[in-house]
Amino acid sequence: MQTDPTISPDLDCWVEGANGHPDWPVQNLPLGVFSSADGLPRIGTAIGDYVLDLDALAQGELIADEDVREALQQPMLNALFALGAEAMKGLRARLSQLLTDSDYRAAIGQHLIAMDEVEMELPALVGDYTDFYVGIHHATNVGKLFRPDNPLLPNYKHIPIGYHGRASSVRVSGHPVVRPSGQKRPSEEGAAPTRSPSARLDYELEMGIWVGEGNALGDPIPIEEAENHIAGYCLLNDWSARDLQAWEYQPLGPFLAKSFLTTVSPWVVTPQALAPYMKPMPPRPEGDPQPIDYLAGGPDKAALGIALEVLLSTEKMRRAGDAPHRLSEGEAAAAMYWSAAQIVTHHASNGCNLQPGDLIGTGTLSTAEESGYGSLLELSEGGKKPISLPNGETRTFLEDGDEVTLRARAVAEGQPGISLGECTGRVLPARG
């Protein structure tokens, strides 16, 4: 039974064009940071073709909660995330009221800014970034390239695998992707490694999880409470230099092959907005181990019912005016072996303190079918099978001038459908 009035499909928003908007109807109300003509970053929400300035609403005392008002006047979302799930729900309820009650039109309308007049910023200051590996089909596909007879290592189905990434190189959608240079494995045994720009640059289709309130050092997060520590979701592209990675990853895992850039979409879509689109986690195949006690249980609907797609636009395509080519499409729920709640719980299970604004990546989300593979490494079978594009070009990995766009939408029967926006990056030549 639907109990949250902010997700009702019957809501009527007074903002022109918001009702039935394909991305940002009033049922979505994502949070983000934007700047306009004055260049000052401030917090807003997307509604139709506009951004609503929440800093201005807070200063005008249209938000009753004093702590929330103060947090909305900060240049990033960390302070708001720190207030926790109940404060976030309260803000969402108030915004829904303001945008559906026409009595507020005069007071609110003056703070709407056309979306094409703003520049989106990184939504939070990322203190820590952790990337997981919960896409089982991706893990299997990649494992087969290196271990055809044993693609998944013994721990994979017992523990959510992850590594700590580089927080300082997280950037918002649109930031250029400068091709990294680095060491590569010797061409033959006994030879010396070489250093040059990566020739096997790749994207990775992931979901990002923004940490909300977080936990104190030493205090684990029980699986039953994990959802309350998720402030929202975004798209995430974990750009990867496969040739650098192949030489450096043993024995400690990825380093320079990943740390040159991670791109996120600008809007944080809250768990409340996504509630109607969540699904039960897919049943584990017969013979697979059940989660250990601390990872068992949690929400009944923990799988992200979000449709994902990857588009590629080459420099030649753009010059010709050609539309981007879809490389893949699939659903997050079909790709994840571990849920977002399990990721959060496991991350904090040893007492690690998660902090407001920390970013967690799911790992590459590939479906079982080739049409849903989330990286070129998989689509090209490690570079052995070139991908044919409609204009006659081919790709095994990304070339200079290529632009990759990740998109995500949540759709369910009886609901209006909402977007998570886009996550885009264009490859530039290596420097130095």
Per residue in 141-150, is it b (16+ CB within 10 Å) or e — as a string? Answer: bbbbeeeeee
Q: Which of 384, 389, 223 has its CA nearest to residue 316? A: 389
Q: Which of 248, 236, 256 has its CA nearest to residue 363? A: 236
Q: Greatest CA separation found in the chain?
A: 77
The amino acid present at 419, given as its one-letter code, is S
Angle ∠(344,350,305) on CA atoms, nearest 5: 15
Which residues lie closer than 8 Å to 37 by C-beta, 6 or more apart?
Answer: 117
Helix (H, G, I), strand (E, B) or coil at 116: helix
- Residue 222 and residue 408 in contact, taking contact as beta carbons nearer than 8 Å: no
138 catalytic per annotation: yes
3-class SS shares of the chain: helix, strand, coil, % to 5: 25, 25, 50
Counts of helices then strands in the chain (DSSP H, E): 11, 25
**What gap in Å lies between CA 222 and CA 210, rounded to an integer?**
18
Q: Compute how many other C-beta atoms are within 10 angstroms of the C-beta atom of residue 96.
A: 21
Q: Compute how many other C-beta atoms are within 10 angstroms of the C-beta atom of residue 388.
A: 11
- The residue ranges of DSSP E strands in 127-166, in sequence order, are 129-132, 162-164
Tokens coding 316: 């030649």
Choose, from 21, 111, 137, 138, the residue flagged as catalytic: 138
**What gap in Å lies between CA 204 and CA 219, rounded to an integer?**
32
Residue listed under structure tokens 């975004």: 234
**Quick one: how far is CA 366 from the chain centroid?**
14
Q: What are phi and psi of 209, to 5 degrees?
A: -120, 120
**What gap in Å lies between CA 30 and CA 28, rounded to an integer?**
6
Helix (H, G, I), strand (E, B) or coil at 186: coil
Distances (CA, A) of 141 to 49, 361, 380, 384: 40, 19, 11, 14
Residues serving a catalytic function are 138
